[in-house]
Amino acid sequence: MTMTHAVVLIEAERNALSSLGGALADTDGVAEAYSVTGEWDFVAIVRVPTHEQLAEVVTAQIGSLSGVVRTQTMVAFAAYSRHDLESLFSIGE
């Protein structure tokens, strides 16, 4: 089955920084959640079977979590694993 993968950048209210990571990780469709430095506070990796489910996860679930100020979603065109990248760069060796 082909999956839809997306990276969701999340800005949070300061008072939500301690609790939002767990709430993101508990969200159906969120495979991984990270607290990060920089302009954004969290990064969520979303993996779902369809684009329609991606819209549901990002807008209805992540967007409605208490403390979420804004999100930016980047849909992946292709997914690569470490194994894929190692084999790609080892051609001709």
pLDDT digits (tens, 9 = 90+) for 16-26: 999 999 999 99
* Token code pair at residue 53: 């489910």
Gap between the Cα atoms of 19 and 1, Å rounded: 33
pLDDT for 80: 76
Q: Is the pLDDT of residue 29 over 90?
A: yes
Task: Kindly indicate whether the domain formed by 4-89 is annotated with CATH number 3.30.70.920.
Answer: yes
pLDDT above 90 as % of the chain? 77
Q: pLDDT, tens digit, for every residue of 32-61? A: 999 999 999 999 999 999 989 999 999 999
Question: Binning pLDDT at 50, 70 and 90, where does residue 87 land?
Answer: low
77 vs 1: CA distance, rounded Å: 15
- CA dist 83 → 79, 90, 92 (Å): 11, 11, 16
Spatial separation of the C-alpha atoms in residues 65 and 77, rounded to whole Å: 27
Residue 62 CB-half CA count within 13 A: 33
Task: For the chain, give every domain's residue range.
Answer: 4-89
pLDDT over 60 at 77, yes or no:
yes
